[in-house]
Structure 1
């Protein structure tokens, strides 16, 4: 089966790891610590990592028989808005990364689908997909500014925290609405 062409990785890019100094002996390790600018679109619609903000990578690259196992943590900041009240959210995140990157022409590369296992390009590893998966999969689809956020009043749109305790809106049965208009015109 012919291999699909892969784009060429630039080792100077912040999310590309060069493994030339990592021996291809199972068990050999190398620490990778760096602060990188966050790539674009790292997150979900309501909560994401601001593009260009600092993301701290604290990783260990480990040689295994079929490739390089990358494990460790990524830390940074998130911004967005609450899914209930639309207040701004500013918080930090820390996610675990654990991903195998198969050597070119390894048994793992030949026996797995392209999206199952990361692929190395020569001695280079593109860490962006692993980082993206780790961050996006931990984010809530409906983020909250706090767990007990009461949200907004559906009738007037004011935050429930800013309204009095007995706040309510008069609901008129639509079948009687015409009678209400009659009393207003007589006055």
Structure 2
């Protein structure tokens, strides 16, 4: 499947173009170390044109195998993300209105959608992956996964630089 559409054809035809395809991401695990594996992105887009502007909108989805940021367990997560991009041919006007800031100016008649789909994927990723809301993580003293068992280590660690203040509020 080619990810390139022709701007001229899109503006000339009053019928939207449907795109339903897969996109293979390469080196996703090199970009984010907690991502172990990514299935091909399932992408459904609709491209239409009017008044010199091409609009591409739709949704992408992928299944990821990730590592929890707290306990380091591996789990599967599904990611769904919206895609909305607008394009136009370069205009002679040097000033662009604020409304036009989100419109990409094309250098040619072709629109390569691949980088825009990839960007939408990367921007939709959460900052950290947590296997579940109440994940206890690893014990900072012994390294035991506290979701599986209680290690009995004291979690009250006092910074030695502040140890003199520990009795400050006691009467």
Normalised to the residue count of structure 1, the TM-score between the two structures is 0.66
Deviation at 1:33, TM superposition (A): 1.1
Question: 1:129: Cα distance to partner?
Answer: 3.0
Cα displacement string for residues 90-149 of structure 1 (whole angstroms, at most 9, x for unaligned residues):
22211110110222x33689738xx95334353321223322332222222111011111
Deviation at 1:29, TM superposition (A): 1.3
5+ residue gaps, structure 2? 161-171
1:32 to 19, 43, 53: 19
Q: 1:27: how far off?
A: 5.4
TM-score, normalised to structure 2, is: 0.72
- Distance, in Å, in 2 between the alignment partners of 1:49 and 1:64 is 39
Structure 1 stretches lacking a partner, 5+ long: 1-11, 175-187
- Superposed, which structure 2 residues align to 1:14-163 within 5 Å? 14=2, 16-19=3-6, 22-25=9-12, 28-41=15-28, 44-47=32-35, 50=38, 53-103=39-89, 105-106=90-91, 111=96, 116-163=102-149
Change (3 A) 1:28 1:82: same
Instruction: Tell me the alpha carbon deviations over residues 32-61 of structure 1, each in whole angstroms, 9 at most, x when there is no partner.
Output: 1112222444864423763xx321111000
Q: 2:153 aligns with which of 168, 172, 183?
A: 168
CA distance 1:109–1:128, shift in 2 (3 Å): farther
- Alpha-carbon spacing, 1:148–1:91, altered in 2? closer, same or farther (3 Å): same
SS in 2 for 1:111: coil
- Asked if the contact 1:81/1:87 (under 8 Å) is kept, the reply is yes
* Structure 1 Cα separation of the partners of residues 87 and 40 of structure 2: 24
How many residues of Structure 1 are paired with residues of Structure 2 in the alignment?
Answer: 156
Q: RMSD value over aligned CA atoms?
A: 3.5
